[in-house]
Structure formats: structure tokens, C-alpha cells
Amino acid sequence: MPFCDNCGQQIDENQKFCPNCGARNELAFKAQGSVAPPPPGHKSEVPPPPPPKKLIDLEIDQEDVDRGVEKARRGLGAAFSFAKKGLSKGAEIAGKGIDAAKETIDERRAAQAAAQPPATQPPAEGQRVCPSCGEPVTGSGKFCNHCGQKLE
């Protein structure tokens, strides 16, 4: 069991910081290797920048535009008449589907409410958590033994 170089407090060898004075415990850092782990939530991968927008240079003939519009009108008309035929039946099926989905959701909610305990368990009494790194703090030290944060 090593002792703190700074204050002489007995510390655990895997505690990176002295819980009494916050001094670094070099043994714990050496045990983990020379490279310090990245802080929690840190992402090393940076998303690639979006590709540059390609400028499309199109030469449009007015005659082609007119022909295209005419084709689109014809296509749209056919689609519209087809949709009207199927619409009432489609709406009926859709309505039934929505009702069935609602019932399923209500049933699931009821089942979940019955399965879950009414309240979440509070954390164990006396267990302190570091406000800086979120790790549970062992013992009654004044400093976090994970990151060296001074504790209230």
C-alpha cells in the first residue's frame, strides 16, 4: 500500500489522486501506462466536413420545358384519378390501423406501469459521487481519487 508523497496519507495504489490532499499518485498513472485515457464523453473522431455542393450547369431549352410540363400534367391527372378510386378504401384501412395501434400502445403502457416499481431506488446512503467525473468516491477523502477534484 503506497503513501502520498505530499502528505504521507496511506492511499490505494489504483487511486490516481490522494484523497487527503489531491496530490497525484504517480504509481496509479504508471500502472495505467504513459498515455492518459481520454476524458469521458470525449470523441476523438471528428465527423468529415460535408461534401462541397456541386454546381450543376444546365442549359434548358424552353421547348423541352413545355414538353416536360405537359407530360407532368398528364401523369399527375392519371395519378389523381387513381388515388380518388382508392382513397375511401385506403382511408378506411388507415383508420382501422390507427385504432389498432392506439389500443396496442395503451395495452403496452398499462403492462409497463404494472411491471415497473413505483419509484426509483435512491443511491446507497453515504455514497458520495464526484461532481467532476461522476465516479463514486471511496472513503472520506477531501479530494476525488479519480480526477483530483476537491470535494465539498
Instruction: Give the containing element (helix H, strand E) for 128.
Output: strand 128-129
Using the rule CB under 5 A, is 133 a contact of Zn ion? yes
Q: Taking the chain, what is the end-to-end CA distance rounded to the nearest angstrom?
A: 26
Using a 10 angstrom Cβ sphere, with 0-12 exposed, 13-18 middle and 19 or more buried, the burial of residue 18 is: buried
Q: Which one of 38-46, 70-78, 80-88, 126-134 is the stretch in contact with Zn ion (CB under 5 A)?
A: 126-134
* One of 2, 12, 149, 151 touching Zn ion (CB under 5 A): 149
Span 57-116, contacts to Zn ion by CB under 5 A: none
Min CB(109)–Zn ion separation in Å: 39
How many Å apart are CA 87 and CA 54, to the nearest integer?
A: 40
Min CB(145)–Zn ion separation in Å: 8
- Give the contact letters, 13-52, x = binds to Zn ion (CB under 5 A), - = no: -----x-xx-x-----------------------------
3-state helix, strand, coil in the chain (%, to 5): 40, 5, 55
How many Å apart are CA 130 and CA 54, to the nearest integer?
A: 50
Residues at the contact surface with Zn ion, assessed by CB under 5 A: 4, 6-7, 9, 18, 20-21, 23, 130, 132-133, 144, 146-147, 149
